[in-house]
Structure 1
Amino acid sequence: MLRTGERCEPGAENEPGTGDSRTDEAGPHAPVSGRPMVAPVASVVPAAPPAVRTRERLRVALWRAAGFIGRTLRGEWYGIVVEPVRTLVRRGLSGLALAFVAAFGVIFFHALAQRPTGAVVVRVLGGVYADLPLWLALLRTPVSLYVPALDLPVWAGITQLFLAFALAELTLGRSRTLFISYVTTLAGTLMARVMIALGPGWGGLGLPPEAGRVLDTGPSAAVVGLFTYVAVVRRAPIVFTLTGGSMVWESIAVPNLAGREHLIAVGAAILLALHAQVRSRPRAFIRRWRRVRTVRGGELAYLRHEIRHPE
């Protein structure tokens, strides 16, 4: 707006800060020449075709699966290979004492059973049958771990036995290794009696009475139980699949007494491992609580000392 006596310069009404210009108050987006300003239209991105979205989802799923497999393999490599090897380097060959004793025991009883007199001794000391009295079967069960089965290759069984006992001894310790091997073997021996008592039928769970006269020896149940226990404790699904899955396939392909006892050993090892995991959680919590309490107690004692004896 012009006052009296002032002259309007050309373009002066459009300069910022002069007069009562609307563009100076409303900003650069104010309407020009009294016309309403039209808001800019946002650009719309067209949706990807369904085939492209499907390929993208498949690519993401494959990357996630590859990452999971990589993390699993890395964890199993450290839990099953690296840490036991470090323990072996720290302890030396004394860390494999139980594995050497088990392997030499199988070799000794196999060599002894090659002679007629030795075969009688082996059968008397470690021969376990389902139709034996229970007390006698329990007495012979520890020795039956070292008596090789007649229908299995000895040297392949010795290799598996050595690896299982060595891994368990380096990971779990000797006492727990002996406990797991004995309990899994004993579970298979006792369940064989139950299955024979049920008789044929029962959805394939029962066994005929003739199975009671089959020689039930060998360390295979202990080997399967140890591998399964270590796999569950160390959270190694690949090792668990190789051991438990192979036993399931064996029981389906060859439905005999040994295959079912292996399944029982796998189940017993899983229960023992889960029980150990449940028991370790409260202990870990108590240890953590004591550590926090000790730290806080030390800080409190330091504050009291500072208050009583200021510098």
Structure 2
Amino acid sequence: MKKILLTAAALLAVSAAHADYRPIVNDRYFTTTAELNGGVQSAISPFSSSVTYTVASELVANSRRLETLLNASMDASFREKGGTLGSGTLTGPFRIVLSPTGTGQTAFAMSGANYVANGTVSGSYLGVSYTCYVNIRLNNLQAFATFNNASTIVDGSGSTTYSRDVSASCTTSISWLPVFDAIADTFADRWAAARANGQIDTYARELVNGLFARPNGLPSGLDKIGAAVGAVTQANGVTVGVAQVLHYLDDRQGVIDMTLGTFAPIANKSGVVEPSSNRIVGQLLDFKFTHPQVGNYRMGLTDTAVVTWQYVCPLGSKTCWIP
């Protein structure tokens, strides 16, 4: 008995020793980097910079837009079945590639994002009441389309693909019956297929129409953050202004390969070992542009938070040991 008590006490001590590290932000800034044919130039802007922050927010909003569309459609699906969408989350990063076809059109491809939805569905079947907890995962969302260079209107319907992972767990008024799990799986799989395709296609069309819109499209945003860099001296010694490079976006003769990310993920870290880095970095944009008149151009935008890690008790913990 004594040995058992000592073991329980030891376990309690271990659990009490657990805590989290909370980041205290001391400084935060944006870094814009431009690379052109072997030359590199960087510039730092304060996080409070209204111009850079506005562009960064617009970049993040582009990915959040798809999350909003998917959540709206999933919520409608759950409601149709007498249920409720608990949460829907989109994670990236997004990769978008635009390639000229040589026929006055541009091919559009989007990939990389994943979506997870959780919710409950309740009802009655053959006199048996049930509640099902449903999880829907849409992995590597992809969209493909071709649009006219002059009008930026998508030609045809385009296509969407992704892999689905659907699961459900149900309880009933009489007992747990696996047949209800199978029925819920089937319903959820149909929701995922029927609802998601239309929303991904809608998002792709919105994105294409907005990319080259003036004055608030992609070229305008790149101009604004590129102004901090100004110009890049190439490996051959020739200096070229960033605005001059971006001017070639308008002729649709170059290949664009860009990835949209997010702000620095400032959040608590679990564990008893202090994180090794005092910098938290979010890659907001990785933009690559290849053009016959330009060569190879690349622009990046990051959000960096310089932090001090503070040892704190986990949320909801009544007690813990802080060294």
Larger radius of gyration: 1
As a proportion of its length, which structure holds more helix? 1
**Fold conserved (TM > 0.5)?**
no
TM-score range, shorter chain: under 0.3
As a proportion of its length, which structure holds more strand? 2
Higher RCO (CA-CA < 8 Å; seq separation 6+): 2
